[in-house]
Chain A
Amino acid sequence: MAYSDKVIEHYENPRNVGTFKSQSDVDASEVGTGLVGAPACGDVMRLEIRVKDGLIADARFKTFGCGSAIASSSLATEMIKGMTLDQAAQIKNTHIVQELNFPPVKIHCSVLAEDAIKAAIEDYKKKQAPRTAAGSAGAAAAKPQDA
């Protein structure tokens, strides 16, 4: 199958590869992680977002999958940077399909990237939920224990 130039470009120079976990300057409470797919299906994406002041300040990914899956997740990290969580949650797989010129057989790669974004946002919100609840109860903002 012939790949589009954009897929090849992302595959050869993937953006934002890695993890925040080993970055000492990143507070774990700022990070949301989406891990989607399955090794038995031939693709697994892990997308991490770092949220500051309600905006996605940075993103990281690692992907086990074909070139199109790698390109989808690389592109996704670029797209979501600077977005609010709500904006990022609106990203549809069709945006990725268009941007990377996917043939029909590769559409599932873009779906996986959309799922990864949503899962990362959900994970981040879950982490924030106890603190938000504590805040609304009028308690003093506690330093996150998992820092």
Chain B
Amino acid sequence: MRWQLLIERLRIPLMLFPSLAVLVVLFGGGMLFGVGQSFGYFPIIGLTDLTFQYYIDVLTDPNFFLSLWLTFRIAFISTFLSCVFAIGFAMVLRHQFRGSQLFTFIFQIPIPIPHLVAASGIVLLVTQSGVLSRISVELGLTQVPRDFPVMVFDRNGIAMILTYLWKEVPFIGIVVLAVLQGVGPQYEEIAQTLGANRWQRFRFVLLPLILPGVLSTSIIVFAYVFANYEIPLLLGVRHPTTLPVLAFENYQDPDLSLRPQAMAVSVILAVLAIGLLVTYKRLARLAVNR
């Protein structure tokens, strides 16, 4: 009897243990080692003393701050615009009209499609000899490839942002859509009979209802874009590039002494990400509770 009770007590911890173990060991362990390396603990090349030197090197490098600003800018713009478009599209798609199910399906298509495929497609569209440029020639707006604005391998990261938008707008949009359709029209109807116009109904009735969902998904989006390596490598310039690319390139450098520096950049990246997101969540919670 006693061992049955014991199993009962242990049941939940046992259920949780495997996932936690995997994540703690792989993720936590990885972080531990990574942080260690950033402080110079690198037995392979003979470094065993802990030092802040690498952090100092990184933080005094102007390149670093350029990269940081670029990373932040792209993440912020991508996330913000994604939210705006997502809410807008969801507001249109939530009604039932002829074909609404089909169009909602089309809206969702980007969600499972890999970012690389999206990037590949965007490149075809926005390079100076790409589809959009050719349409522009057809419309008589430009004549040669060079006339068309640079959007890939550019300093502004336009192609990158477009790629992120294409992927993330449906992601946030579907969540908002689910909320809106779950809520139904009645709150708005009541507000309407009480004298609220269209903007007031959105601002005071709908927005508070969708904000939690928008908040959660935008946190995921921001975190993803901030830490993303593939897209900036593919569609951006070498210099300045985003922090993840900077870190990884340093890591891959044959000169192993650059590794601790790479780790330092990565750790700073992680700390910044956490800091930004915690702040964001706090601010958002304040705004919602007002």
Decide whether A and B are members of one complex: no
Give A residues with C-beta under 8 Å from B: none
Q: Which residues of B contact A (CB under 8 A)?
A: none
